[in-house]
Structure 1
Amino acid sequence: MHRASHSFISDHTAITADEEGKFSRTAIGDPLMQTAEIPQLPKGAAMPVYRSQLDRPPPEQSQGERMDSLSPPATPSQHLLESESQPQYARYTPSDKVESDMDLEEKDSWVPYPLRPWFWIPFFVLLVLLAIGLEIALHFSNKNNGWTANGDAGDDVSLWHYVYTLPPSFAAMILVALWAWTDIEIKKMQPYVDLVHGDSPPHRSLLLDYTRSNNFIVWTHAARNRHYLVALTTLMVLLTLSFQPLAAALLIVRNTWWQMPDITIHNLAHLGLNQNTNFQDLTSFLTAAGFASSSSLYDLPYPPFISGPYTVAPFELPGGIETNGTVLFVNTTAMKSDPGCQAAQVSMTSLSNGSWNNSISVQGCSLSWIVNDTAEVLFGVNATNCSTDTPQFSPVAFWFFEYSPSAQASATVCFPTFELFDVEINYDLAAQNVTQVTELQPFTSSSNFSSASGNITGSPLNGRAYNGVEFNLTNPDQFVLARQAAIQLQMPAAVLQKAQLSTAGLQGSFTSNSFVQYSTEVYTTYLTLLAQTVYFLPSNELNTIQVKTIVERLFLSDVAVHLLAVAMIIVAFFGTIAQLFHRFDRRHLRLRHQPGTIASAVSIGGQTGMGALLAGRQDQKDIDEVLSNRKFRIDPRTMKIIMEGEEGYEFASSPRNRRKSVFAALQNVK
């Protein structure tokens, strides 16, 4: 088997070595060969040859010789070609040398804090979590109808207003500051990144300073320079400017319809026929008639516990709660009064003395009355004659007559009835009255608060309603009779007043027969007031009510939450992309100190061709002119700036055959 051997021949000596590292030295032309054992060398390595003795180190190389030692293997060294007697040494490819140096220097390279994974990864994770948290909080804000607001949070002079609005703004300010820090560091490093990529013109490296331009325009400069990461991070800075106003608008105070704890109160009355002293002497009837008459003239509101045709069982009002905006929701009983009024055709017969005989007949009930010409307008109300009802339950007729300009009459017959219901009412504490009545079901003997209702649904009323005009009186005194006469006078007088005050006036009311409408309004008011004193008995039963009021509560603004969450997600997404690509772009940049200071500038550019070129030049115009049409690189080993044409320029740029993927670049984490 052939054994490979390696040799080097010079003018004076030849050294040979076999695979075991045994070397022999033989002078050229000398038959005597001397052999010596020396340390083993790698395959292909040449042993240096000394002119006089083996243990003498080689002479120190000049700068040109050192640069020649980095020449690519395929290019012969001009210096070696000129002298065959020059000693030769073991050489490695420049790419291997640079790779080895970079690997050794990587641990010592300086990277700004915002560009380190331990900084930006938690930052972006925090942004995503905050965005998700805001959306979740918004869901519960809407679901729970906000949160309790302490103090007067809606008043800008209140301390609580700032307690609720300032913390979100401070948090947003911190997030904005952290991303602004990241952006400024990327801008500061961009000239060095461009230099390490090689062939960088001065306007993209030595003369570049993105930190001195306004963020609203600097991204356009970066885009023109094809520094797209700088443009992207700047746009994200502009986006983060929305964080603070949106954070300040997150919490809003709304007047919210809020249910308070239920309250137990006492009912003041329940359904039952109340034939007390006021009933017997007609005081209750006269009082109701007086209010109905006044209401038509002065447009008075309904009294408490009356709403439209409904008369509600009264109850005690709770105390100790805010009345403004507070509404009570109560399940109780109510009587619904229906006057049942309708127009009746009047038969008029003129008498010889100027009087008129008038008569009506409706549904088997009739009434006749005579008027004389003692007055221009005459009116009255009487019970009709019906074969099936006693006068106090009979229909009543409101009649009106006038002589001028011509004799004419109008009559309205009313058939009063009532219905009993289980209802839910809304009682406004501020208005002190019922604002809404909702019928739940008809009132029965099994309904709540029905213990005394038998004398209404059964004997003696049997579901019939008093007409309030005629009464079953036994030995009435003159005062009772006077009250009866007053009732029969006030009721039609109130109707006449409404007709006179109407836009059509009295004559128009006769022509359009508007007395039916006016009679219905007055009679309904009278019947509902009458029901409160006649059809309800005092009571002390317990009842549970709901209380709802308008309170100030804190809500998350839907618009602010959605906009802020989207902005955070956008910053996190594009910020991650920017960090990954920037890490990839600067993979060959090995700064050994923080740039930006004068000392750093001297360290990187001093004692270089560029430094000599700029020496003594102070005006910006001179600096621009002397650097124009030149290109620069930065040596990834020494971090010195090298100008095109200088020795070593061709090896200063990052080797292109060492490109890694973005994700592979992440594996070398500082």
Structure 2
Amino acid sequence: MPSSLNSPTRVGSPTIAFSASESRFSTSSKRYRESTHLIPTPGVDKNRPKRHVPVNLWLPVVIGTPLLMLIMGMALEVCIELSSKNGGFKVPVQNALSIVSTQFLLAFFPTLFVIPVGYMWRTLDWMLRWYQPYVTMSRGNATAEESVLLDYIYLGSTLSMFPALKYNHRVIFWSSFLATVTYIFQPLAGSIFQIQTRGQTSDTTAQSTRSLGLVSDVAQLNAFAAAAGFVQAAVFNDLADPSFIRQGWSIAEFVFPTNIGLNGTMTVNTTAVQTNPNCANPSAPPIANTTTGIISTISLDGCTQNITFDPKVSDQQYGVAPAPCGAAATSLRPNFQPVVFWFWHVKGDTSSEVRTVFCNPTMQLFNVNATADLNNGGLTTVTILGNFTASNNLTGSPLNGIPYNALIFEDSPNPFIQARATATKVGVPGAIFRSAVQSNKGLQSVFDLPNGFSDLTSTRYTQHLAVTAKSIYFVNENTTLPAVQTSLVPRLWIDPFPGHSLAFLLFATGFLGLFLQLINRRQRRNLFMAAEPGTIAGALALTARSGFGDLLLPYDSREVMEKKLEGLRFRLDKRTGAILADDYEPTGDDGSFRGPDDAMMSLLGKRDTMQSSSQLAQEAALEAAGAYPVWRQELKTPYDK
């Protein structure tokens, strides 16, 4: 072995020492020199390093993420079906978090479920795009554009689909496509939930506080006077029927539930009293004799009634009197006899006219299903189930099924009771007359109508009888009754369109993503990397001895790098894992690559291929001392001059 290989050789400046082993360069390309043969074989001199697999590419992650998306899509479809079947899901009537609005909660919390899986899939897509150039080189014969110059990370998921199509990277295309789709998850999730008010029916019980029976203090006439006062107030203030009363029906009171929701109703199987005034016009027009002060009127039964009044007191007068027609009615006490209402007034031409209405109230007891509005207590419907047959002091003694007329009472020595009787007797006819005065076309129009006062009397007298019945025909008694509660309650509703859309995207992404991850995992089976490739040190570890880096300069643009690396094919060395480049286009007679320096040498004469070791060492020293190989001086830049 010549001594020149073991001692420093000065060729210009600087002086470089070479050993015999360092003079052995690979001859894979004549444009650069690589020294991967100097890299020790892993696992020979020391233990083979452990293969680096990022956490995001662990099997539980790459399998679990698409599976979770697939399961979430299926679960959402089930929730949509349950929502449609049950009219939504039950939610508290009042917002549990008063510091934020319901709309915020509906939009915020659904996104908490889809953002993690969307983020995890985009992370997996990022890892697939990061490793793709190395996967391509692991198969060998990769061009620079699809390997060392390819940067899927810089392009992002959406733009990566175009080069993926160009280079036939199907896994990357579909992975990037699905990663782009995941950005739609959040707006869809934020719009699937709605709060809607829907009817909800549930079987329950109601606590009734009253049962049928005649109250003991009925003789005090408090209930009658109060009912007459309510009728007057209803006329003046246009009031509806009070709680547990509707169009002649009076039902036993019950306790309203507290969690009624919106527009809640309760249907209770209870008892009720139906009072009917049975009002009718006389058989012939009544006659008012202003001289004698007597109003004569004849009922449909042919019973003549004479009513005394004083025409000098007022131009508008009204009242009510007993009308005992027939032996049965005559035998009744005045409290239970039929009555006749009369209304008289002086017209504009100074003539007078009178109207009378005969009423014979009746009462019936029923078992009913009564539906009450839980917001205001008003009855909405009453459905008869059957007659009430139990014996009590309404159907038996002392009433024997005959109701009070609630207007006429026996004289009482108690001035307070007598005052209540007078107020009741005057109040109800006064309320009827006031209704006529308040009519749209005035009092005279009611007198002119054939049934004007008959209709008004029937309406107001019915209301008076029902309010009175609620107070005197029910006694205190607590009982538990079966009931059905129906109310409009807030329900969490899943909008089908965004719901089905999100469920489909979750299912499709999970289903396709599972196959993509398994395919990519199989593609990486021959890829061995000891460190993550994203660092500068990791890139140097893979390419430092590959040689083709000598063709590149730090300030080369991408176009320049593409031109310099043109004609090379890249692969991963199966022994060391380093990135290697091979000439691809043979141009010489012997199949070797011929560059511009080879053409120059052919003009100067054939180069001696049999060089001594001294000559090889001298050429190596010259190349090491210069910034560029001697045959590529055209690569010099203005910075080198």
TM range (shorter): 0.5 to 0.7
TM-score when scaled to structure 2?
Answer: 0.68
Between the aligned partners of 1:118 and 1:646, the Cα distance in structure 2 is 47
Listed as ranges, the matches of 1:244-255 within 5 Å are 244=186
The 3 A distance-change label for structure 1 pair 587 and 324 is closer
Match of 1:402 in 2: 345
Report SS of the residue matched to 1:362: coil
Match of 1:380 in 2: 319
Task: Say which of 155, 168, 176 aligns to 1:234.
Answer: 176
Whether the 8 Å CA contact 2:296–2:304 is kept in 1: the answer is no
Could you tell me how far 1:209 is from its partner in structure 2? 1.1
Could you tell me how far 1:578 is from its partner in structure 2? 2.0
Whether the 8 Å CA contact 1:115–1:579 is kept in 2: the answer is no
Task: Say which of 350, 365, 381 aligns to 1:420.
Answer: 365
Task: Say which of 98, 111, 117 aligns to 1:155.
Answer: 98
Instruction: Check if 1:389 corresponds to 2:332.
Output: no
Match of 1:40 in 2: none
Aligned residues: 534
Could you tell me how far 1:467 is from its partner in structure 2? 1.8
| Structure 1 spans left out of the alignment, 5+ residues | 1-59, 68-105, 651-670
The 3 A distance-change label for structure 1 pair 515 and 574 is same
Q: Which amino acid aligns with 1:299?
A: D
Report SS of the residue matched to 1:637: coil
The 3 A distance-change label for structure 1 pair 397 and 133 is same
Task: Say which of 568, 577, 580 aligns to 1:640.
Answer: 580
RMSD of aligned alpha carbons: 4.7
Cα deviation code 1:207-249 (max 9, x no counterpart)? 3212113444443454455434323212222333344566677
Match of 1:487 in 2: 424
The 3 A distance-change label for structure 1 pair 226 and 412 is farther
Whether the 8 Å CA contact 1:425–1:434 is kept in 2: the answer is no
Task: Say which of 439, 444, 453 aligns to 1:507.
Answer: 444
Match of 1:192 in 2: 134
Could you tell me how far 1:287 is from its partner in structure 2? 3.1
Match of 2:596 in 1: none
Could you tell me how far 1:350 is from its partner in structure 2? 7.2
Between the aligned partners of 2:167 and 2:304, the Cα distance in structure 1 is 105
Q: Which amino acid aligns with 1:493?
A: G
Between the aligned partners of 2:433 and 2:353, the Cα distance in structure 1 is 15
Cα deviation code 1:474-530 (max 9, x no counterpart)? 786777666544433222111111121222221222234432332222212210122
| Structure 2 spans left out of the alignment, 5+ residues | 1-22, 31-47, 592-641
Match of 1:101 in 2: none
Report SS of the residue matched to 2:299: strand
Moved more, 180-189 or 148-157: 148-157
Listed as ranges, the matches of 1:555-566 within 5 Å are 555=492, 557=494, 559=496, 562-566=500-504
Between the aligned partners of 1:243 and 1:508, the Cα distance in structure 2 is 69
Instruction: Check if 1:128 corresponds to 2:70.
Output: yes
Whether the 8 Å CA contact 1:604–1:641 is kept in 2: the answer is no
Listed as ranges, the matches of 1:3-152 within 5 Å are 114-115=56-57, 117-135=59-77, 146=89, 152=95
Could you tell me how far 1:138 is from its partner in structure 2? 6.4
Between the aligned partners of 1:153 and 1:495, the Cα distance in structure 2 is 51
Report SS of the residue matched to 2:508: helix
Between the aligned partners of 2:362 and 2:199, the Cα distance in structure 1 is 38
Instruction: Check if 1:567 corresponds to 2:505.
Output: yes
Q: Which amino acid aligns with 2:329?
A: D
Listed as ranges, the matches of 1:321-336 within 5 Å are 330-336=268-274
Listed as ranges, the matches of 1:285-324 within 5 Å are 285-314=224-253
The 3 A distance-change label for structure 1 pair 397 and 198 is farther
Match of 1:496 in 2: 433
Match of 2:552 in 1: 614
Whether the 8 Å CA contact 2:144–2:565 is kept in 1: the answer is yes
Q: Which amino acid aligns with 1:383?
A: P
Report SS of the residue matched to 1:401: strand
Between the aligned partners of 2:232 and 2:357, the Cα distance in structure 1 is 17
Whether the 8 Å CA contact 2:272–2:365 is kept in 1: the answer is yes
Whether the 8 Å CA contact 2:193–2:493 is kept in 1: the answer is yes
TM-score when scaled to structure 1?
Answer: 0.65
Moved more, 347-356 or 239-248: 347-356
Listed as ranges, the matches of 1:203-282 within 5 Å are 203-244=145-186, 265=207, 267=209, 269-274=210-215, 276-279=216-219, 282=221
Task: Say which of 354, 359, 363 aligns to 2:297.
Answer: 359
The 3 A distance-change label for structure 1 pair 645 and 600 is farther
Between the aligned partners of 2:90 and 2:287, the Cα distance in structure 1 is 76
Could you tell me how far 1:393 is from its partner in structure 2? 3.9
The 3 A distance-change label for structure 1 pair 107 and 249 is farther
The 3 A distance-change label for structure 1 pair 258 and 504 is same
The 3 A distance-change label for structure 1 pair 296 and 148 is closer
Whether the 8 Å CA contact 1:610–1:642 is kept in 2: the answer is no
Report SS of the residue matched to 1:582: helix
Q: Which amino acid aligns with 2:212?
A: L
Report SS of the residue matched to 1:634: strand
Cα deviation code 1:281-313 (max 9, x no counterpart)? 544433322222222122345444434422222
Percent of residue pairs bearing the same amino acid type = 26
Could you tell me how far 1:619 is from its partner in structure 2? 3.3
The 3 A distance-change label for structure 1 pair 153 and 254 is farther
Report SS of the residue matched to 2:364: strand
Could you tell me how far 1:607 is from its partner in structure 2? 4.8
The 3 A distance-change label for structure 1 pair 523 and 114 is same
Between the aligned partners of 2:181 and 2:226, the Cα distance in structure 1 is 73
Between the aligned partners of 1:133 and 1:397, the Cα distance in structure 2 is 73
Between the aligned partners of 2:488 and 2:285, the Cα distance in structure 1 is 62
